Amino acid sequence: MTNVKPIQDIEPAVHRRFVAEALLRLKARLKSEIIEGAEAETQSLRFATWNLMHFGNGGAYTRETESMMYIAEIIDHFDLVAIQEVNDNLDALDALMRDHLGGAWDYIVTDTTEGGPGNSERLAFAYRKSKVWFRREAGEIVLPKGQEIAIPGSSETQKDHVQFARTPFAVAFQSGWFRFKLCTVHIFYGNASDTSAEMAQRRDEIREIASFLKARQVREQEAHGKAANYILLGDFNIVSPEHKTMEALESAGFIVPAPIKELPSNLTGNKHYDQIAFRLADDRFRLLRSGVFDMFDVVYRDADAEHYLDDVWGTQFDRNSDGDLRDRDQKINYFKRYYRKHQMSDHKLLWCEVRTDFSPDYLQAVLD
């Protein structure tokens, strides 16, 4: 369970009561949407992926105590969460774990990605220690020579090649009987036009990471007679289920559950940027449930804008970046379009529940 005592630091008192009500509402929604209908705690694993939009970057992206409590409450309803866009400053991630999730949780995080496209970002896995254990294998994916990605602007006759703009991160975990390798990505975005060189790079990054993991799984099978279960998840910047970016992911045999594939993950509801895809070697595996959680249905709702304007902000957002006064409608628009996504994220959370108790299969094999 999360630590709710930091709510005492929230001022004014009217807002403290507002946050308490919002947290109760969030707990109830998460219980009904994520927990009810779940398997017994010892028989399944709930994991998720969430791009937390410049998490730890400071400035406009500094999370208030309120937002950290909401983020922690959502994460705490899962056992393992891949987080993208953790920034070079780890203070926010450390505070999330220390002050809100507590000692029941731990995390693994990459170093920062160098170069402009990398944006000094990190990738992280947060996990509940009682349900998930780290199998002491972790690595950032580096493509072998000849498989690098052609970069925009290079000629057809003399292509320049690079590694991923943000290096994918793969970690071996186990929950119950289920052993798996989880690889999280934040794929290059660039120009969103279908005909742009940047879109080609985006598609190539997706195809190369999927192909790389497929080849590794095949090699494991050939060398050892068994292969790992691979789960590839994160922010792929996929446009739609029918788009060539999705085709690039599925071309290597990765399977995306229908509820994940069909529901958009961006706030405006027209893009399928985030995905969870499976390439499994163990036929005992069962996907039990999956879905997309929209936090703004529950907290920072459209209807809450008036409260923030009247009881929380004071004069803080009276002027825009040019110094011009905002009228009330403009401030409400600022709350909806900017403030709340800076406090939470511009991505929804995607999740799955999978079976982890293979003991009936094992015992049946003994009988057979």
Residue with tokens 């409260």: 307
pLDDT of residue 259: 92
CA 234 – CA 50 distance, rounded (Å):
7
Report yes or no on 321 lying in a domain: no
CB 34 within 8 A of CB 351: yes
* Predicted TM-score (pTM) of this structure: 0.94
Report yes or no on 317 lying in a domain: no
The number of domains in the chain is 1
CB 272 within 8 A of CB 240: yes
Per-residue pLDDT of the chain (368 residues; tens, 9 = 90+): 999 999 999 999 999 999 999 999 999 999 999 998 777 777 999 999 999 999 998 888 999 999 999 999 999 999 999 999 999 999 999 999 999 999 999 999 999 887 777 788 999 999 999 999 999 999 999 888 767 776 665 545 445 677 898 999 999 999 999 999 999 999 999 899 999 989 999 999 999 999 999 999 999 999 999 999 999 999 999 999 999 999 999 999 999 999 999 999 999 999 999 999 999 999 999 999 999 999 999 999 999 999 999 999 999 999 999 999 999 999 999 999 999 999 999 999 999 999 999 999 999 999 99
CB 29 within 8 A of CB 70: no
| DSSP summary character for residue 76 | T
Report yes or no on 272 lying in a domain: yes
User: If you write DSSP's letter for every residue of 119-153 in order, what string do you get?
Assistant: TTEEEEEEEETTT-EEEEEEEE--PPTT-PEEPTT
Q: Residue 277 is part of which domain span?
A: 5-299+344-367
Report yes or no on 314 lying in a domain: no
Neighbours of 13 (CB within 10 A): 9
Helices (H) and strands (E) in the chain, counts: 10, 13
CB 336 within 8 A of CB 317: no
Report yes or no on 69 lying in a domain: yes
Report yes or no on 337 lying in a domain: no
Report yes or no on 315 lying in a domain: no
CB 120 within 8 A of CB 87: yes
* Packing angle, helices 13-30 and 65-75, rounded to 10: 10
Phi, psi of 56 (to 5 degrees): 100, 5
C-alpha distances (whole Å) from 4 to each of 1, 29, 69, 71, 90 are: 9, 17, 7, 12, 22
Report yes or no on 338 lying in a domain: no
Which domain CATH number covers 29?
3.60.10.10
